[in-house]
Structure formats: C-alpha cells, structure tokens
Amino acid sequence: MKALVKTTAAAGLSYVDIPEPSMGREDVRIRVLRTGICGTDVHIHRWDGWAQRTLTLPRVVGHEFVGEIVEVGAGVGALRPGQLVGAEAHLTCERCAHCRAGARHLCTGTQGLGVQRDGVFAEFITLPARSIWVHAPGISLDVAAIFDPFGNAVHAADTFDLGGRTVLITGAGPIGALTAAVAVHRGARLVAVTDVNPFRLKLAQTLGAHHAVEAAPGAVSRLLADLGMDTGFDVAFEMSGNPQALHETLSHVDRGGHVGLLGLPPEPVPADWADLSLRMITVHGISGRRVFDTWHSMRELLRDGLDPQPLITHRFPADEHDEAFAAAAEGSAGKVVLTWSEPTGATA
C-alpha cells in the first residue's frame, strides 16, 4: 500500500509502498478516506528539534483521519465493515490507574498515532476497536477528518462554563478558531481572538469570533479600553505557544478568572506567580480529548448546527503531499485535507 513515511533524518516525507499493517483479534482494519495535516505533522516534515528528539524512524506520519472499516477482528463485537469511523489518536494502555478509573485522557502510557507508532497517512490502518469512534450518518468527510483538532477545541472550551462570559483566545490557528466557534455556541457573551496572521484572524471571525485583533504589544489592553471593559476577561485560552501571548493571557484574565493552556511554548516561560496567586487565577492545562466524552460533544455540536467547514481551506490528493505540506506550513491556510480514497458506500 502507499503511505507517507518519514524514512530519513532530514526534511520531507516519502510517498512509498509499504506492507499493509497486520491485524489482531481486537483490531479493525480501516481504509483511509481523508486525512488532516496537523502542526505536529509539519514539525515532523521539517524535522525540527522536537521531531528529532521524539521519533524513531521509519515512521508512517499522521493522526487526523476518517476512514471506512473493511475488516473486524474475531474478538470485536460492536463494529462492522462499511462503518464510517475515526479514532482517538492517543492510544491508551488500559492498564494504568487512570485508564482503570475511566480517565483515559490521563493515561500514563499513552502512545500518539503518527509519532510513537505508525500513523494514518496510508491507504490502510489497523487500530484497536476500543479506540474507534463511529461517525453519525451523513457527516461531511472533511469535517470527520478534523475531529482530532475539533476535539482539542471542544475539550478546551468545555473545561469552563462559558455561558454569559467574556473570553480571550490568543492564537487563531485551527484549534483557536474552532475554540472561538464552540465558545460562541456555548453562549459566551464576548469572544476576542488575537493572532499575528490576518488570514487566520479572518478565519476566526468567519467561525464566529466577535473581535479579531492583530497581536502586538498593548493590543489586548487597547481592546479592553475600546470595549469599555474595566476588568479583564472571565476566561482566557492560550493556543499559540508564543511566550508573549502567554504573558498577555495571564495578565488580561480578570481577578478570579480561569486560564486554559493548550499552546506549547518551545522553552520554559517565567510567570509572575505572586500576581497569579493574589488575583486568585485558576490555570488549567488542556491536552488531547476526553475519551469519549469530547467525541459525543462534537457530535452534538454538529447536530446543533455548529459548522467547522469554513476552516478547511485546501484539499489535495495524497500524492500531492509536497504541495499540501507547503500550503499547511504557509500562513494562508486553515486546515489542509488529503484525499486517499472515496467511500464505497457499502451498507454500514
């Protein structure tokens, strides 16, 4: 089968033939239909310091996908060929104390698809049945392909009660823009987004952000003044990984407010902990998705009319991966989706 593989310790990926993955009795085999390119994949493509420290080669890349089940293992009861599925890309151990307590998102032995084990940029994948999510009938393939970052946004937004609240989001990448959409859907009174990239600010506004502000020193203070807000934001999300944005987030959340951290600064960033303590700020780390609570919430949000489609700005066939990664790495893209095959329409 064809797959996009990081074969050598250098920039780029190879579109090569590899053997189809083997399959155990608790697994399902899936034909991949669409995949989303994530920032993680761009780091791996570039072969930056993080990728060099984290990956062992060769590695099939990718974790955002939608596919169609083609075969189920003998020990798999509830799934069947033809079903349109995604999967939780953090494969959990099912043995640690957190897994056994039903908090799989906290698993201590989690393995990332396309990072610690072979990923989804391939014609076929096999995955444990316990990681599979069955999509609602009629879902757009493009939207199904981006359930992973959509889930990051829903996990972040639903960490706090946003109804009637004022919300600041620093970073209007796909997850930041989707978080704005979810916050508005949850009834936030005011959602403001900052980014250095005008294209991404526009995308966040298309998805529902009330205010989109170019990130610059003093920009959030000026926005608060323009809005006549003499307090900070009730809830602030840092989604850029930029140290200056983290500083803006922590300093513009109101007394007693809540901060959600999803962006990953490349280095440790100092913070004024005394100020955070005296202002009684709650800081909450957010990673991945709750398994599968977040997935159920996504299904309900789509049914209620939230539409992530404007986020998908580019589509390429899988063999045009060079063009696709160039688009994803460049500023004027939302999500870039690769096509691997079309659904057969076999009855699910």
Query: Rule CB under 5 A: which residues touch Zn ion?
Result: 38, 64, 92-93, 96, 99, 107, 109, 148
Nearer to Zn ion, 27 or 64 (CB): 64
Q: CB 51 → Zn ion: shortest distance, Å?
A: 14
Tell how strand 312-317 and strand 335-339 pair up. Answer: parallel
Q: CB 147 → Zn ion: shortest distance, Å?
A: 10
- Candidate list 7, 35, 40, 108, residue with the active-site label: 40
d(CA 332, CA 197): 8
CA nearest neighbour of 185 among 334, 335, 300, 312: 300
Nearer to Zn ion, 105 or 210 (CB): 105
- Candidate list 35, 43, 294, 314, residue with the active-site label: 43
Q: CB 146 → Zn ion: shortest distance, Å?
A: 8
d(CA 243, CA 290): 27
Nearer to Zn ion, 232 or 308 (CB): 308
Residue 90: active-site member: no
Q: CB 53 → Zn ion: shortest distance, Å?
A: 19
Are the beta carbons of 320 and 326 closer than 8 angstroms?
no
Residue 179: active-site member: no
Nearer to Zn ion, 149 or 260 (CB): 149
| Residue showing the smallest CB distance to Zn ion in the complex | 38
Strand locations in the chain (E): 2-6, 14-17, 27-37, 59-60, 64-72, 84-87, 90-91, 111-112, 124-128, 132-134, 166-170, 190-195, 211-214, 233-238, 253-261, 282-285, 312-317, 335-339
Q: What residues are labeled active site?
A: 40, 43
